[in-house]
Structure 1
Amino acid sequence: MFELFAQACAASPARAALVTATLRLSYAELAQRVLRCAGELERQACGPLVAFELARPQAVVLMLACLKAGKTFLPIDAGTAPAVRDQMLGSVACDTLVEQLDLDSGVPSLRQLAPAVASTARPDPARFDGVMSLMFTSGSTGRPKAVMVRAASVRNLLHAPDFFTLRPEDVFATYSPLSFDASTFEIFTPLLNGNTLVVLDKNEVLAASALAAAVRREGISVLWLTAGLFQAMVLAGQCAGLAGLRTLLVGGDKVDWHAARRFLALAPQVALYNGYGPTENTVFTTVARLDVAVLDGAPGVVPIGRPVRGVQCVLRDDSGELLSGPASGRLLVGGAGLAAGYVGTTGNEAFLDHPQAVGGRFYDTGDQVRRDSAGTYYFIGRQDAQVKLNGHRVDLNGIAQRCIEAGLAPRVIAWCHAALGGLVLACADGGPDRVTVADARIDAVLSAWERPKRIVNLAEWALNANGKTDAAALRARAEALISAAPVAGDDAAAAADPLVALAEQLLGVRIQDRRAKLFALGFDSVSMLGLQAGLNERFGADLDLLDIYEAASLAGIEELLRDRCCI
């Protein structure tokens, strides 16, 4: 696949390839750094795998260098707990980690990992032939596993893509976590096709004014958003930056019909797409162009579209028979997008040998899907305990088990709470100390996107007649406690402390410490948008999202509002 980048460099050497707030590299300049880095990898990295924990510009150089050097790369997000990182590296027997890379020269600093981290149970290096990257996902078993994403699959999807119209002048933005396969779309679509890639900080994307300024300044025309972030931005009226795009792709979870319909009314000139697909089938399996006619034709229903080029989608019933024509069933995918499998043996039973599969194998997504007479697919739901959190597919049972093993409590269940828009944990038998979302043990075993919105400590653990955990009863008890938090219209609470009342309404929890960090209270990037909109509406303020991030706590926000004479 590196030859496609080389062709782009040869065709337009002076064109801007990689742009940041402080750096602007042409294709020729980027290629120079990539080739230097590739040479160092070939000289120093003995194994087939190269992990990295780098800022995005340096990461782009390293990923391209790995393509040139024939190495498989493994991205690790900044802030990943060391224990989690070491588990990831050990599970794939990676013995090389890049923690620094000089952008001026392209020279990386490589660290050879100790045997305690680089497992002795090494997979066959030949297994990584043709594998571009490893992306960790819960897949079909709940334990994070490394998906082997093939370079040929990325090439099929992103070089001269068929699922949206790519123009030579398009400028792409990248901000998604590098461990999230949406970043593969963000980074490699422009660089394999000779377009420009602009690096944004996530705070720039979240702040409507900052995003609008970046779109105008850099001419950004293509952007990806998770479905949850898209919904929050649209419903909070934060569309100024989005309206300046030419193409907006959303996905990673169910897209809200009302948000999509409102956005199309506000920005009819923007082409809006819904992309669906597991990491095991390389970023996008199906894509739907969303327009007013499509949405109004089936109110409340958002299609996930039709298969992208080279991808095979089939539906299977409970007996294992493949279904033809309009039908509902379990979705199996195959063809050009299919990954090489998981590293190791765990979970690979989800890759099924089948005589009707293009290439001989299907991946069982575990998703229940409907297909209409036109061949358009619609997501119905999961057939197991897996859910989407912030665009990532995770297993609720796996999350609960990891929390138990970390000593959070002897008994834990996990579920997604619709009103809170995220994960809730119910814990019992935890001793005298109440577990909170700020517990350090959570950081050690859960990824950033798995962090709970709320932890409910229960005095008793409900069991059914067979002596097994009664999950339904536990959820009912926990949700009763959650619902005891202040709600909209609680005039007494609002009068006593309107700032705390607003935060409690958004989070659905009682807040005891106004000095606690907002993220420790349960806020995330999506609910922060709601906080911004509520503050500006209730206090007549004009706060940017970056103001709220810098204020850091409710006490800090109060001080900021006083400084601006809003209270």
Structure 2
Amino acid sequence: MKNSAHVRKASDVEKQFWLLDQQGKSTAYNIVSAFWVAAPEVGRLSQLVQSVMTDWGIGTQVYRLENGELQCVENACALATTTLNLDVECFETSAEASFRELCETKFDIENGPLARLVSIQAPQAERAWFGIIVHHIAIDLRTKELLASEIERRWTAPEQLYSLDETYDEFVQEHSAWLQSDKAERARNYWKSELEQLTTSAELAQSVSTQRSEGGRVEFILDSGLIDKVTKFAGTSKIDPFLLYFSAYQLALSRLKVADQLSIGVPLSNRFGHKFENSIGCFVNTLPIVGNLDWEASKDEYLGVVRQKFLLANRHQALPVFEIKRLLSSAQSSLFNFGFTLEPPMTLNLVGTHTQSIPFYNGSAQLDVFLRGWEESGQMRFRIEYDEGKYSSDFSRRLASVFQLMLTGLIAEDKPLKQIRYLPAEDESVIEAANCTQGPVQAEANLKDAFEAQVKANPHAIALVSARRQLTYAQFDALAARLANCLLQQAKLKPGSIVGVYSDRSEQLLVSIYAIIKAGCAYLPLDVDAPLERTRYMLQQAQASLVVTTTANHSQLESLAVECIVLSSDYENIEQYDVQLPPIEVPEESPAYVLFTSGSTGLPKGVVNSHQGIMNRLYWMQEYFQVQNDVILQKTPVTFDVSVWELFLPLQVGGTLAIADHNSHKDPYQLCRQIETFGVTFAHFVPAMLAVFLGVEIERPLPLRTIVCSGEELTKELQGRFFRKFNRISLYNLYGPTEAAVDVTCWKCEPNDQRSFVPIGKPILNTQIHIVDKQGNAVPIGVPGEIMIGGVQVADGYINNPALTDEKFFVDEFGRGRLYRTGDLAQWDQDGQIEYLGRLDFQVKINGVRIELGEIENSILTLPEIKMAVVTYSKDNGIGLVAHYVTDKASITEETIKRHLASRLPPHLLPKAYVPLVGMPMTPSGKIDRKNLPYDSINMPTNTVPTEFAPGSTERLVQQAWQSVLGKTDFASNASFFDAGGDSLKLMEVYQYLLPHLKRRIASTDMFAYPTIESLARYIDSDGEKSPDQDARIRNRAQKMRSAFKRPR
């Protein structure tokens, strides 16, 4: 019993709560107990509780900092008491609201008191509300239990006073001595080793604020049948139910946070065994239980690990949590953000009267997420308390569902953890509805029949239009048919063969592709700007023995020794062939086209897509967008998959295909003119190009009615810019890889949509999207996972590469059919829409072009003098692709590597900067540490030292434009824009910057012709007269860069 003031040193536990109070004085650490009691007894109960707490010094102490030492002054003040009399109809609701308001009142930890007793009554009410509010620094769970027992005892025997065991002062002294002992040192070593398991920050929440915000709660009760199973399993397995509940919580958090490493704070009694078991005060120490989950482990193995974790944590629980926090590495920002405990509310069984305990939540969050459980009337109740600034009620409800699914899985038969399914039923319903896409397809089963049906129906309608001329369906079909007969007769092609196409974008290119299709073959588009060795590899890998080319491009293929059909611009060399073809059957499962994409091995991989897949894609697009008499712009290079629907969709619906000039897809001004000239109503833009296109000043409304985007992320900001400029044009965001017939999801953009992101939408006709974890389990809504694609559009695989095909295309063990593993990260939202989150691997997209960094790395490593190579990409560093390499040969220079790569890779795969290293930075596990590669040593190539330009000169103007776009300050007058870190799209931004400042208008194409500050300034000042070529090497470099930024995938 404590009657007089007493000053003592504060314990380390009290110091922790004092520090928390100093940081924000949050009410999250107000410990609340509430009861309904018989109205006539509330006054007596209040006086009794006040007497016991005063005798025991609970809440009557204060804490003050004296000479750098935190001291506790016991019995420094009286308890606070509040009595309210409410005269309202809804007394019980009003009583709870009034009590909650009092709970939100902060305690003054320096002046006290640290406890408040509250009585709330109403006239005529049979029962009253009684509450106890105590700051956590003065009480813990065990002290609450002792307080309840003493209140019950004194209710019947008030004259008998309970004699307390060892005092808190004794605990402080003993604990201080323990901290200097060998046991404490062993505890420090243990906790240090535990924290080393967390290779990344333990703070996994998507923080929006450093201050704790208002707390929300979600409460749930376990099914009685599940409780019975838990009890039976615990008895059979000799494991405490507490460990089962904790394990289910840890697994649920791990799945929802996509983190195999997780730290959860668990309060431990910290009373030196039983020595201080019946002492009053706050002893509790909340310690991190670190989980490093192995999903391949069996459930019994996992539970054994958890049991061992708690045994060791209990053994070393006396080390203060703030001292453990000091052991964190610099990469870890917090010890834990999640908490768990089983803590029953305080109960009072008072003889002669009835009291009802109320599980009360004070509305403040101690951690990001805290799960509290307790047993009440034979039920297991749980409450998830969460920081509303970081998590939503949807997340918390989902956590509750996944917790119960994990608990059910843990007590089922012994299987690997990875086989525990955790998709809540309500989420499964949303996802199943999104994937319910079955529907009819077009009557014609292949591209050949669909086109020929339109020829028959609309022979005189305009099929093609270009700067050169226009062709009707009948005229175009006749040209394609003659060439098809040439292929069948001269080259002896068999239906199903793969035929290469090597041509600039032109009318001849389209005639070639359609001829191959009409011959029952599959076309393989080849890039005229790619190195010939790459072209040779593609032809060999695809086993394509024939290439259709044009007189303008044929000479480039002469060194490949491949058979060619050369198509002249006037088609004179195919006039002798008939326009009538023999009957040709094209099964829907036969290949329609082969597209090569970047490969991680250093070599591209050829994707084989069937007629069935692309026909489904085209039919969906026709129906969804109501495409009929539209004019569709074909501007995407045919080596990228968006070109496929541009090539075939308009001529399957009686529309018109407008052929953009070669390379005009990189010039927004040319595109704008062609859209106006051809009357284009339907077009595609990669978001990077759309951003530049929006900068073009448009004098009159464009004929466009629809723009679709795909190939890279469409940002919210870019969507906003679009609708501010075009309020009568519809915008759509599509997603899909080459391996699934172009696109598999679609979202119609809305200017007033409140999402913080632009979705990629839902699955389209006869396709399914499955978002799964590393083990292939479907993930809940809001949880990131890998996109798996199913349905008719999934490609046949990679041509003549069965090993890679088996790795990426597989029959799913969960009965979801044949799937393609994309490597893309995404998550579902509440409406069944999909948010794209990026890549899982080292694949990146630059201006919509899909690039495997491994392909560049492996190409560098083909130089025998290079020991190690890593390529990185960041659009934020102003550079882009950067090659880091290790060599011990002085003869290997940057220029050596550049020349080597230029002979093997297309321009868009060439790094912009090269960094020689003595050795690669490595992680503790022996992997290359990409995050610690030295970017500060990167030097962009320039031809001379930076040049100072005279103020007001044209050179100065161009330099300012470069600086604005590239975010740099120093450029040499004869440095190439592309070598300085620019690309084709950035060059268009420079063009837009310059236009308002020029006395005469220059063409956007001039920007490519004069890629240095010096040459462009001279041309601007020359009144349009072409200046002599100052640097042929730079001009050649510019030409290569123009071909680098082709349409996506």
- Taking structure 1 as the reference length, the TM-score comes to 0.85
Quote how far apart the aligned CAs of 1:534 are.
2.6
Distance verdict in 2 for CA 1:493–1:462, change over 3 Å: farther
Q: Distance in 1 between matches of 2:715 and 2:778?
A: 30
Q: Partner of 1:281 in structure 2?
A: 740
Q: Which of residues 310, 322, 347 in structure 1 aligns to 2:778?
A: 322
Is 1:350 matched up with 2:792? no
Answer whether contact 2:790 2:818 (CA < 8 A) is retained.
yes
Quote how far apart the aligned CAs of 1:285 are.
1.0
Quote how far apart the aligned CAs of 1:412 are.
2.8
Q: Which of residues 504, 516, 525 in structure 1 aligns to 2:984?
A: 525
Is 1:102 matched up with 2:574? no
The letter of the residue matching 1:87 is Y
Q: Distance in 1 between matches of 2:623 and 2:588?
A: 28
Q: Partner of 1:49 in structure 2?
A: 498
Distance verdict in 2 for CA 1:73–1:427, change over 3 Å: same
The letter of the residue matching 2:519 is A
DSSP 3-state at the match of 1:168: coil
| Pairing 1:477-496 to 2, within 5 Å after superposition | 477-478=936-937, 481=939, 495=951
Quote how far apart the aligned CAs of 1:287 are.
1.2
The letter of the residue matching 1:27 is Y
DSSP 3-state at the match of 1:8: helix
Answer whether contact 2:600 2:855 (CA < 8 A) is retained.
no
Q: Partner of 1:455 in structure 2?
A: 913
Q: Partner of 1:249 in structure 2?
A: 708
Answer whether contact 2:597 2:605 (CA < 8 A) is retained.
yes
DSSP 3-state at the match of 2:914: strand
Q: Distance in 2 between matches of 1:548 and 1:347?
A: 42
Is 1:403 matched up with 2:860? yes
Q: Partner of 1:471 in structure 2?
A: 930
Distance verdict in 2 for CA 1:282–1:160, change over 3 Å: closer
Q: Distance in 2 between matches of 1:330 and 1:465?
A: 25
DSSP 3-state at the match of 1:424: strand
Q: Partner of 2:884 in structure 1?
A: 426
Q: Partner of 2:764 in structure 1?
A: 308
Q: Which of residues 464, 474, 485 in structure 2 aligns to 1:28?
A: 474
Distance verdict in 2 for CA 1:320–1:205, change over 3 Å: closer
Q: Distance in 2 between matches of 1:550 and 1:107?
A: 35
Q: Partner of 1:372 in structure 2?
A: 829
Q: Rg bigger for which structure?
A: 2
Q: Identity percentage over the alignment?
A: 24
Q: Partner of 2:5 in structure 1?
A: none
Q: Partner of 2:456 in structure 1?
A: 10
DSSP 3-state at the match of 2:746: strand
Quote how far apart the aligned CAs of 1:553 are.
3.6
Q: Partner of 2:543 in structure 1?
A: 93
Distance verdict in 2 for CA 1:77–1:209, change over 3 Å: same
Q: Distance in 2 between matches of 1:432 and 1:238?
A: 51
| Greater Cα shift, 98-107 or 409-418 | 98-107
Gaps of 5+ in 2: 1-445, 551-566, 576-585, 1025-1049
Quote how far apart the aligned CAs of 1:64 are.
1.4
Q: Distance in 2 between matches of 1:26 and 1:194?
A: 11
C-alpha deviations, 1:273-332, integer Å up to 9, x for none? Answer: 1111111011111111112022xx023x11111111111111112332123656432111
Q: Distance in 2 between matches of 1:408 and 1:493?
A: 42
Answer whether contact 1:191 1:197 (CA < 8 A) is retained.
yes
| Greater Cα shift, 218-227 or 126-135 | 126-135
The letter of the residue matching 1:34 is A
Q: Distance in 1 between matches of 2:630 and 2:959?
A: 44
| Greater Cα shift, 317-326 or 17-26 | 317-326
Q: Partner of 1:60 in structure 2?
A: 510
C-alpha deviations, 1:367-417, integer Å up to 9, x for none? Answer: 111111221111012111111123222221222111231579544321222
Q: Partner of 1:137 in structure 2?
A: 597
Q: Distance in 2 between matches of 1:255 and 1:130?
A: 34
Answer whether contact 1:163 1:287 (CA < 8 A) is retained.
no
| Greater Cα shift, 202-211 or 80-89 | 202-211
The letter of the residue matching 1:316 is V
Q: Partner of 2:432 in structure 1?
A: none
Quote how far apart the aligned CAs of 1:243 are.
4.8
Q: Distance in 2 between matches of 1:153 and 1:241?
A: 39
Is 1:443 matched up with 2:892? no
Gaps of 5+ in 1: 110-125, 485-489
Q: Partner of 2:847 in structure 1?
A: 390
Is 1:232 matched up with 2:692? yes
| Greater Cα shift, 504-513 or 93-102 | 504-513
Q: Partner of 2:659 in structure 1?
A: 199
The letter of the residue matching 1:414 is V
| Greater Cα shift, 461-470 or 50-59 | 461-470
Q: Partner of 1:331 in structure 2?
A: 787
| Greater Cα shift, 205-214 or 411-420 | 205-214
Answer whether contact 2:745 2:761 (CA < 8 A) is retained.
yes
The letter of the residue matching 1:52 is V
DSSP 3-state at the match of 1:159: helix
DSSP 3-state at the match of 2:739: helix
| Greater Cα shift, 162-171 or 249-258 | 162-171
Distance verdict in 2 for CA 1:506–1:434, change over 3 Å: farther
Is 1:79 matched up with 2:529? yes
The letter of the residue matching 1:24 is Q
Q: Distance in 2 between matches of 1:407 and 1:538?
A: 51
Quote how far apart the aligned CAs of 1:353 are.
0.6
Answer whether contact 2:454 2:652 (CA < 8 A) is retained.
yes
Q: Partner of 2:291 in structure 1?
A: none
Q: Distance in 2 between matches of 1:241 and 1:333?
A: 42
Q: Which of residues 621, 632, 654 in structure 2 aligns to 1:161?
A: 621
Answer whether contact 2:759 2:833 (CA < 8 A) is retained.
yes
Q: Distance in 2 between matches of 1:141 and 1:374?
A: 39
DSSP 3-state at the match of 1:50: strand
The letter of the residue matching 2:900 is R
Q: Distance in 1 between matches of 2:627 and 2:855?
A: 43
Distance verdict in 2 for CA 1:284–1:239, change over 3 Å: farther
Quote how far apart the aligned CAs of 1:510 are.
8.1
| Greater Cα shift, 384-393 or 416-425 | 416-425
Quote how far apart the aligned CAs of 1:356 are.
5.3
DSSP 3-state at the match of 1:255: coil
Q: Which of residues 411, 414, 420 in structure 1 aligns to 2:871?
A: 414
The letter of the residue matching 2:988 is L
DSSP 3-state at the match of 2:933: helix
| Pairing 1:169-188 to 2, within 5 Å after superposition | 169-188=629-648
Q: Partner of 1:122 in structure 2?
A: none
Answer whether contact 1:436 1:455 (CA < 8 A) is retained.
no
DSSP 3-state at the match of 2:903: helix
Quote how far apart the aligned CAs of 1:256 are.
2.2
Q: Distance in 2 between matches of 1:290 and 1:188?
A: 25
C-alpha deviations, 1:79-104, integer Å up to 9, x for none? Answer: 11111111111222221122222354
Q: Partner of 1:558 in structure 2?
A: 1017
Quote how far apart the aligned CAs of 1:423 are.
2.0
Q: Distance in 2 between matches of 1:147 and 1:159?
A: 21
Answer whether contact 1:135 1:180 (CA < 8 A) is retained.
yes
Distance verdict in 2 for CA 1:256–1:201, change over 3 Å: farther
DSSP 3-state at the match of 1:375: coil
Distance verdict in 2 for CA 1:275–1:216, change over 3 Å: same
Distance verdict in 2 for CA 1:206–1:92, change over 3 Å: closer
DSSP 3-state at the match of 1:32: helix
| Pairing 1:116-155 to 2, within 5 Å after superposition | 130-138=590-598, 143-155=603-615
Distance verdict in 2 for CA 1:331–1:440, change over 3 Å: same
The letter of the residue matching 2:921 is L
C-alpha deviations, 1:103-151, integer Å up to 9, x for none? Answer: 5438579xxxxxxxxxxxxxxxx99961001111236766421000111
Q: Distance in 2 between matches of 1:459 and 1:298?
A: 44
Q: Distance in 1 between matches of 2:968 and 2:917?
A: 18
